[in-house]
Amino acid sequence: MHGDPMMWVAGVRALYLQALHPLAVRAVMQNSDFRRDAWGRLMRTANFVGTTTYGTTEAAELAGARVRRIHGMLSATDPATGRAYAIDAPELLLWVHCAEIDSYLHVLRRSGYPLTDAQADRYLAEHRVSARLVGLDPAGVPADRAGMAAYFAEVRPRLAAGADARAVDDFLLRPPTHPLLVPAREVLWRRVAQLAYASLPPYAHELYGRPAPAPAAVTRGLRVTGTLLRGIPARLRWQLPPKHILRAMARLGPGARPAPYKAGR
């Protein structure tokens, strides 16, 4: 699944969703330079996902230890109470994890990736490993679609689109770029951001204050985009950084290939 090009759309959806937790987004705003180094932050996230997906066990454990070490040194201030809090609090780690993994699963399936309900549950269960790597107890992480739905229902009353969430929203629609690249941003990036936003759950649209688009139209947009992106030769797509798939293939031997078509068998 993680070799599918719709992961880029799914990743942007995850950012929109994660920004709706006031404490989680405040931690990002106070400890991250994402507005000045958006590409660098994106690549660091892609590198972590790529390492935990395609890297060796040792590399994945080291990546997780690095994330835990960095998070353990940081704190943020609650805008409502003025109190400081640790950004590696389990509640915040769980929200970021669930918003991310749910977005990956939702966008890929809705865009036409062949995955049965049982395989979707297996995907969520497998990601308790990545949850452990960032410091969560796997026993407390949703292991199937029912558990994930229950989690979002439980956390929903704590979500809001405050000033920080709106700053993320504005940034995702209009990220800073070189003047010569503005036309490309408007043509390419804005479509990705708008499609990612459109795929959010209804309550997220309500919180952001914009009407939710028709679900059928969103699904059509995801399927058309998925079909177009999947038409790009895989070998060409795999050349994009951080190139984890190519390194895994080299490590495992010339016969090793990601084979998403097997998911439908």
Q: How many helices (H) and strands (E) does the chain have?
A: 15, 2
Mean pLDDT of 55-67: 96
Nearest to 61 by CA among 111, 119, 133, 109: 133
How do strand 75-77 and strand 84-86 relate by DSSP bridges?
antiparallel
How high does pLDDT run on average in the chain? 90
Write the CB contacts of 25 (distance below 8 Å, at least 6 apart in sequence).
18, 19, 162, 164, 165, 168
Q: Which H helix or E strand runs over 27?
A: helix 22-31
How does residue 258 score in pLDDT terms, banded at 50, 70 and 90?
Answer: confident
How far apart are alpha carbons 192 and 196 in whole angstroms?
Answer: 6
What is the C-alpha to C-alpha distance for residues 234 and 176, in angstroms, rounded to an integer?
A: 29
DSSP state of 21: S
Tokens of 204: 């997220």
Give residue-wise pLDDT tens across range 88-127. Answer: 999 999 999 999 999 999 999 999 999 999 999 999 999 9
**What does the pLDDT look like over 235-253, one tens digit per residue?**
888 887 788 999 998 998 8
**Residue 59 CA: distances (Å) to CA of 42, 53, 63, 136, 248:** 19, 10, 6, 18, 12
What is the distance between the alpha carbons of residues 157 and 171, in angstroms, rounded to a whole number? 25
Closest CA to 97 of 61, 66, 127, 64: 127
Query: For every residue of 46-107, which 3-state class applies, written as one string?
Result: HHHHHHHHHCCHHHHHHHHHHHHHHHHCCEEECCCCCCEEECCCHHHHHHHHHHHHHHHHHH
- Would you state the pLDDT for residue 256? 81
Contact between 49 and 186 under an 8 Å Cβ cutoff? The reply is no
Among candidate residues 61, 19, 60, the one with its CA nearest the CA of residue 160: 19
Q: Which residues contact 112 (CB under 8 A, 6 or more apart)?
A: 222, 223, 226, 227
So what's the pLDDT on residue 265?
A: 54
pLDDT in tens, 144-189: 999 999 999 999 999 999 999 999 999 888 777 666 666 666 667 7
Helix (H, G, I), strand (E, B) or coil at 248: helix
pLDDT at 264 over 60: no
Q: Give pTM, 2 decimals.
A: 0.91
- Strand-pair partners of 76: 85
Q: Are 74 and 26 in contact (CB under 8 A)?
A: no
Q: Which residues pair with 75 in a beta bridge?
A: 86
pLDDT grade, residue 255 (50/70/90)?
confident
Q: 46: pLDDT confidence band, cut at 50, 70 and 90?
A: confident
- Quote the CA–CA distance of 226 and 234 in Å, as a whole number: 13
